[in-house]
């Protein structure tokens, strides 16, 4: 049986994919190969543990956060088709090549708290069209609906790549023998109904009433208004939770809460919410803040945060109606 590897897939794909965009995606994939290799080495590579200082988000960085961020920078800084890029780990954007056609935003290592316990982590990326020859900050302030590509790499028992160019979602599995991502599923579809949800229920007391109502109904199971039992899953890595939805359906929620009323949400619009929303919508699901479509949110800053509620269409419509 012959397999389609990522480079072949990118070469043969037409319509929404230019050779220049294909080259950017290929560079990101190769960067993730390197991150994956060092993750497999674990403690042997000396990349576990805290780096003992904070990133721009005020979060304590892991050694692998810094290593992964450096790999993305190395892959994109001199890429001829990248006009500039921005990382969740860095305060400002970085200009790259004049006349580069694309801007890249990335979370180099999602789920950092899982690193030292050998659990699922991942990398998330979003690609926007460049607006002018020399990149400025305002060029990144495009809503998620302007994305030309989005995806993630999940470093798990199998290393997998989820990828969309706006014409559906494809999944690739990393083949360690040929050292390449191999196409393993096209036209991914999320079931409109589900009996599975993911949320950090330790924040229950801080949620707004619509979310409390919704989760309470799910927990009531067959005896409640929903008339069926639900299972809760929580990986503490957005990549893992979204991959589960793409694989078998479900709902993921990191809603607005009153724990930190000054923060409009927990997750970053540009590095997490937008690329994941594009994947979910392209697979037939919905993605909302609870009050509006995530990919319609107009960015006002590189590190803007938003509430995130996404997954099975029927459930998301119910949650929105409660808001």
Binding site residues for substrate, as ranges? 110-113, 200
DSSP letter (8 states) at residue 272? I
Task: Give the torsion through C-alpha atoms of 308, 309, 311, 314, to 10 deg.
Answer: -160
Which SS3 state, helix, strand or coil, does residue 161 take? strand
The rounded distance, in Å, linking the Cα atoms of 296 and 34 is 34
Helices (H), the chain: 6-12, 19-41, 63-76, 209-220, 238-248, 274-282, 313-322
| Binding residue numbers | 88, 107, 109-113, 200, 272
What is 12-62 written as a DSSP string? Answer: H--SS--HHHHHHHHHHHHHHHHHHHHHHHGGGGT--SEEEEE-TTSPEEE
Phi, psi of 138 (to 5 degrees): -65, -20
The rounded distance, in Å, linking the Cα atoms of 309 and 292 is 10
Of 174, 170, 173, 57, the residue nearest 112 (C-alpha): 57
DSSP letter (8 states) at residue 112? G
Of 66, 112, 62, 76, the residue nearest 238 (C-alpha): 112
| Binding residue numbers for Mg(2+) | 88, 107, 109-110, 272
The rounded distance, in Å, linking the Cα atoms of 27 and 55 is 25
Give yes or no for a contact between 290 and 307, defined as CB atoms under 8 angstroms apart.
yes
Of 1, 310, 303, 298, the residue nearest 143 (C-alpha): 298
């Amino acid at each position: 049986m012959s397999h389609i590897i990522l480079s072949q897939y990118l070469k043969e794909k037409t319509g929404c994919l230019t050779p220049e965009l294909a080259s950017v995606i290929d560079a990101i994939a190769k960067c993730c190969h390197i991150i994956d290799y060092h993750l497999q080495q674990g403690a042997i590579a000396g990349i576990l543990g805290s780096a003992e200082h904070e990133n721009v988000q005020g979060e304590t960085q892991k050694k692998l956060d810094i290593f992964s961020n450096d790999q993305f920078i190395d892959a994109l800084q001199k890429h001829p088709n990248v006009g500039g890029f921005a990382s969740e780990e860095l305060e400002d954007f970085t200009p790259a090549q004049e006349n580069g056609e694309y801007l890249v935003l990335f979370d180099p290592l999602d789920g950092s708290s899982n690193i030292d316990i050998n659990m699922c982590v991942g990398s998330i990326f979003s690609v926007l069209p460049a607006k002018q020859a020399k990149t400025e900050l305002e060029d990144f302030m495009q809503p998620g609906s302007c994305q030309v590509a989005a995806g993630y790499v999940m470093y798990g028992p199998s290393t997998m790549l989820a990828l969309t160019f706006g014409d559906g979602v494809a999944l690739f599995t990393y083949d360690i023998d040929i050292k390449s991502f191999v196409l393993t599923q096209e036209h991914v579809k999320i079931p409109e109904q589900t009996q599975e949800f993911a949320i950090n229920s330790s924040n229950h007391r801080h949620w707004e009433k619509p979310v409390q109502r919704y989760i309470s109904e799910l927990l009531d199971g067959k005896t409640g208004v929903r008339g069926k039992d639900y299972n809760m899953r929580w990986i503490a890595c957005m990549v893992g939770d979204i991959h589960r939805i793409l694989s078998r359906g479900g709902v993921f929620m990191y809603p607005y809460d009153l724990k930190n009323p000054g923060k409009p949400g927990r997750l970053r619009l540009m590095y997490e919410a937008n690329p994941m929303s594009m994947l979910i919508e392209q697979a037939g699901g919905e993605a909302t803040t609870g009050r509006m479509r995530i990919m319609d949110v107009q960015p006002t800053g590189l590190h803007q945060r938003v509430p995130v509620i996404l997954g099975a269409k029927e459930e998301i419509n119910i949650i929105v109606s409660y808001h």
